[in-house]
């Protein structure tokens, strides 16, 4: 995130999600005589979630750029956000959510009846919602105290620091909410009630 230019979009994320979608479709047709049934509904929800996460990430990346060119320089507002301690906490929270999900994806290879061990891990079950809400409050307070979002009479929303910050925060909140929802779906599937 501390790089001064955005990545050039090569369709890598989209291609990976599409490839995974195809492989999941094939898994649904595999004979599973000695294994548990393929979690078709959960897999579909996961793929749909990844398409929405990709959309939020792309929207945020375009908002961060000071140009419409691929690989453009990150704008000054976003670079200033990177220096805020509260923003670093939110970034770390998103990365931690990704780590949680990566561990919970073991649900797709869990081949036994009963509860998957990862579903019993309290850290993987904690969605950290209250802490995240506090982080967002802290970010808004730090942005306001820094004067970063002051009105500059910008002609376009893309040039208005407050609007840019709002778009970035909304995208991050959407990504976090999407991952939280997926986390809950996986935990429901991974820890069936006896």
Q: What is the pLDDT of residue 171?
A: 92
Residue 114 DSSP SS3: coil
In a domain, 2, yes or no: no
CB 94 within 8 A of CB 53: no
In a domain, 150, yes or no: yes
Residue 120 C-alpha from the chain's centroid: 23
Domain hosting 104: range is 12-190
Higher pLDDT, 156 or 95: 95
Instruction: Give the chain's domain count.
Output: 1
Q: What is the pLDDT of residue 180?
A: 95
Q: What is the pLDDT of residue 145?
A: 93
Range of 4-8, 26-30, 99-103 with top mean pLDDT: 99-103
CA-based radius of gyration for the chain: 20
pLDDT tens digits for range 122-142: 899 898 999 999 999 999 999
Q: What is the pLDDT of residue 7?
A: 57
39 membership: H or E segment, kind and range: none
Which range (7-11, 16-20, 60-64, 188-192) has the least confidence? 7-11
Side-chain half-sphere of 7: how many Cα atoms within 13 Å? 11
pLDDT at 175 over 60: yes
In a domain, 56, yes or no: yes
């Amino acid at each position: 995130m501390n790089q001064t230019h955005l990545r050039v979009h090569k369709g890598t994320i989209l291609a990976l999600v599409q490839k995974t979608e195809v492989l999941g479709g094939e898994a649904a047709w595999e004979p599973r005589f000695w294994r548990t049934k393929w979690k078709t509904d959960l897999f579909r929800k996961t793929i749909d979630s990844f398409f929405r996460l990709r959309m939020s990430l792309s929207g945020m990346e375009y908002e961060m750029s000071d140009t419409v060119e691929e690989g453009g320089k990150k704008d000054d507002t976003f670079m200033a956000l990177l220096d805020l301690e509260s923003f670093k906490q939110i970034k770390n929270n998103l990365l931690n959510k990704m780590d949680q999900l990566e561990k919970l994806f073991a649900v797709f290879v869990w081949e036994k009846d009963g509860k998957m061990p990862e579903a019993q891990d309290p850290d993987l079950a904690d969605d950290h919602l209250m802490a995240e809400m506090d982080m967002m409050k802290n970010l808004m307070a730090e942005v306001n105290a820094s004067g970063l979002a002051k009105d500059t009479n910008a002609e376009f929303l893309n040039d208005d620091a407050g609007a840019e910050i709002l778009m970035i925060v909304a995208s991050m909140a959407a990504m976090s909410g999407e991952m939280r929802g997926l986390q809950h779906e996986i935990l429901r599937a991974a820890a069936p009630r006896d």
